Structure formats: structure tokens, C-alpha cells
Amino acid sequence: MGMTSTFSPEAPAGTVHVRLAGDITEESSFEPILRSDAPVVVLDLAEVRRINSAGVREWVNFVAELARRERKVTLERCSVAVVQQLNMVVNFRGNADVRSVFVPYCCGACGAERSELLEVVGPGAPDVASSIACACGGTMEFDDLPETYLSFLG
Amino acid sequence: MAAHSGARLPPAPSTERHGRVLLVDASSRSLERLAQCLRPIAADLTAEASLAAVDPEGRYDLLAVNYDSLSPAERESLVEMASRWAPRPRLLLLANGNVRNDLPKLFASGMLTNLMAKNDEFAPQDLIVTVQKILRSDIFGLEKYFSWGIEPLTFEIRFASGKAEVLRTTEEYATKLGINSRIAAHLSTVVDEFLTNAIFNAPTTPEGQHRFAHLPRTSPVELGADEVVTMKLCCDGRQLGVSVSDPFGSLSEKRVLDYLAKCFRKEADQVDRKAGGAGLGLFYAFDALSHFVINIRPKQQTEMIGLLKLTATYRDFAAQSKSFNMFVSE
């Protein structure tokens, strides 16, 4: 599934707000975003499904170019796949601020999977719920390693 | 069985056995368990409780060490000691997830070619397959890691553009199995990286020059009819497996270890800026897999094998320690 970029027409003046979706790979191009001269760039990454190694380099070059142009960049609604890259690749974040991420849960009773949005800005470590209710009546447990999932926050 | 300074172990029932193996484990119970597994397949087995007790003049084909049982000082001296031996034995570390912090150093040493996961205990079947491959040099084949009777799906790929179709089929395969979506995503990552490596990095000229490694990964590379890349995919309910084999054998042990060391260091050079690949593919595969195997017959064949243990939740999958093996056969 190739990457798509959808520009929000409702972004305030001076801000470009882009929703990225699909897989970030060697085929992905960030040129349309770089063509904007807005000083503030907000990237909604909720629908980013997978990122391969070639895609990571495209991304790292992209965020480095945004930094070189002194754009203020915010990553919001980072999918679980994006969080994984934030933890693995040292330059993935560039100079961007991370506003919010999705946190994965899995139900032990029915196997359902779901992600919940978590704000990560502000003082102190964000509070990750260890479990949430599942629609089946069971309990969904946090489905990653608590000690490492948000390690990119430092 | 030859006499050594360590425990002399009784001979195994008669079978064809290969190689001289040294086991080091501070836990006597664990040491005996290891010996039980390896006694039937090693021609000569010596067991020691510590590195200090090892005969410095010993000549071994394989040094298998319970890394968790070593003191910090022994961990420091292990690589140095093993590298002094001539000929150098293959090093096999049995370790839980805590070894991850030491991986940059271990990979950089050039000695760590075999790492065996120890989740509470090691898996005897995985250990036996690994040691047999080291001692017998019969290294190729995804089937070695699966129960008899499992028939893999097989794909042949000649065109870089064919990767997308194979990835779609892989996703459908994982969906039909009903596995956790993040483990399924790991499988796609591994297939993607293995195929990219086989199509772009592996092909060489007869003189050994890489033909396509410098090209952007969007280039329309086409391999010759006798250069087909073969991928196999299978599952036995216990684990998922994928293998990608190329007929070039151009990957070197040093290159693998250098790239893994660079990526695990997580410094500014982690992502390559050179033309061609990002230099992250092996690191991504290592991270995504429960067990990553690289088989190399120089100038003839490279086979990458990825195994993913199937667990009900991703958390259980991520909590497991990882295995890594690199086998080189002449």
C-alpha cells in the first residue's frame, strides 16, 4: 500500500497540516510537503501502516530538510508503526516535537486489537493505562513492553 | 572422547558425530542440560563451569557459552580469549534479552555469529539444529526449522517490481492465519528487506563487483533467468518462517556484523547517506524476528531465514529474547 498525503484545507494561516497514510517506502515522496513555505508543519501519522528501511531514509532526509529550512515540525497521532521507528532510528524524529501517539491494546478473551491515543506533551512521563475495556466484555491489556514503548521520549 | 581439564562426559550412543565442542556454564544444572542435548552430536564435548577453567591451548570447533552466567569481567574477556585461539572456534552465546545492551560491542568484535535465545531455558531443538549446522556445514534450508511434512509456499522473483505482489501475497497469508497484526507486519518487513537485499545488494559481476547496490530502490532491476531469487514461506502453528535465497553468495560475514554493529550503536551514522540502500535492512530484520539466520556459501548462494514465534499477544512476542546465526560453508 503506497503512501498518500492529504493536506488539510482547514489548517490555520502559516501552518501546513498533512495526513500521511499507508506504507512509507522507497516509493514515497515528501516533495509536495516541502513545496509549502508555511513555517509550521503538522504531520498526522495515525494511518502510517509500515515503514521499510528505504522509506526510513526518505523520511530522515525529509525531516532533516525541514530542520534545515527552520520549520517548526510537530508529529501527532503517531501510529504504533511510527512509534517503533522513533524508538529504533536515532534521527527519525529530527527536530520535531511529538504531540501524541497511539498505544496498542489486545484483548486476552477475544483477541481483538485496538489503539488508544495518548498525549505525550507536557511535564512528567505520560500515564499509559495498563488495560482498557473491550467491547466483548473482557479486558484489553497494553500490548507492548511498558519499559520500552515510549523510550524515544528519553 | 578426548580428555580435557573439564568434566569428562560419557560417550554417546553410536551415531555419526562431528566436531570438538566446549561448553561453559556456571550453572551445573544448565550445563548438564546443554550436554544432554549436544553429547549425541558432538564428537568431543568438554564442559567447564567458568572461562577461567578453560584450557588456553584448547582447540575447539565450537565454544558454547551461557552468557547470562558470566560475570561482567568474564564477559569482557570472552571475546578476547576466543579470538586468541587458532584456529578460531565458532562462538555460540546462549542469552536472555539482557544481552541486547552488549550487542553493539559483540557485533563489533567480529566474533558474534551465533546467539541463541534463552527464554527461561533454551529450546533444545533450536540448539541442536544450530550446532549441527555449525559442525556439519549442512547449512541451507528453511525446512530444518520446521516439523516434517510442512510444505512451504515458494515464489521465484526476477524483477524488482515483483516485490509488491509478493508482499501482498505475504499479507494475505498472514491474514488467513489470523495472527496478531503486529507480528504480521513484522513478517512483511522481513520479506521486504530480504527481497530488497537479494535483488539489489546480492547480484555481482563475475569479478565480484556489485551490480545494483548503488541504485535507488525504485530502479527497474531485472535479474537473469539463471539468477532467480527464491522465497519460501511457511508456518507450523508454532512459528512462521520465511527464507530468501539468491545464487550469488556475495554477502560477507564481516559486512553483516559491521552493519549490525553500526545500527545497534544508534549514532549519527545509523542511516547510510550513500547511493543505494539505507544500510538498515539487516538491523530491521534482526529487530523484527525471533530468530534470524544467514547462510552463506561464498560466490554461490546466500540464504536469509527469518522465524517469528507465534504468540497470542505482541507483548509476549516482544518479551522473548532473540536468536541470530550466521553460517558460512565452503
> In chain A, which residue's Cα lies nearest the Cα of B181?
A113
Q: The whole model's pTM is what?
A: 0.92
CB-nearest to B185 from A50, A89, A91 is: A50
- Residues of chain B contacting A81 with CB distance shorter than 8 Å: 185
State the pLDDT at residue B57: 78
Inspect the interface and report whether the beta carbons of B280 and A57 lie closer than 8 Å. yes
Q: Which residues are CB-contacts of A82 (< 8 A; sequence separation ≥ 6)?
A: A45, A48, A51, A75, A101
State the pLDDT at residue B35: 93
pLDDT in tens, chain B (330 residues): 333 445 545 554 445 567 899 999 999 999 999 999 999 988 899 999 988 888 877 788 899 999 999 988 888 888 888 778 877 888 999 998 788 889 999 999 888 899 999 887 888 999 999 999 988 889 999 999 998 899 999 999 999 999 999 999 999 999 999 999 999 999 999 999 999 999 999 999 999 999 999 999 999 999 999 999 999 999 999 999 999 999 999 999 999 999 999 999 999 999 998 878 899 999 999 999 999 999 999 999 999 999 999 998 999 999 999 999 999 987
- Residues of chain A contacting B196 with CB distance shorter than 8 Å: 52-54
| pLDDT tens profile A22-35 | 999 999 999 999 99
CB-nearest to A53 from B182, B268, B284 is: B284
**DSSP-assigned states of every residue in chain A:** ---EEEE-TTPPTTEEEEEEEEEESTT---HHHHT---SEEEEEEEEEEEE-HHHHHHHHHHHHHHHHTT-EEEEESB-HHHHHHHHH-TTSSTT-EE-EEEEEEEETTT--EEEEEEE--SSS-----SEEE-TTSSEEEE-S-TTTTTGGG-
- Residues of chain B contacting A52 with CB distance shorter than 8 Å: 189, 192-193, 196, 284
Inspect the interface and report whether the beta carbons of B270 and A89 lie closer than 8 Å. yes
ipTM (interface pTM): 0.94
State the pLDDT at residue B17: 62
State the pLDDT at residue B14: 45
**Structural contact between residues A57 and A85, judged by C-beta atoms closer than 8 angstroms:** no
Q: Name the residue with higher pLDDT: A93 or B110.
A: A93
> In chain A, which residue's Cα lies nearest the Cα of B276?
A54
CB-nearest to A50 from B189, B218, B314 is: B189
> In chain B, which residue's Cα lies nearest the Cα of A50?
B185
- Residues of chain B contacting A108 with CB distance shorter than 8 Å: 312-313
Inspect the interface and report whether the beta carbons of B284 and A80 lie closer than 8 Å. no
Inspect the interface and report whether the beta carbons of A106 and B314 lie closer than 8 Å. yes
- B280–chain A nearest CA distance, Å: 6
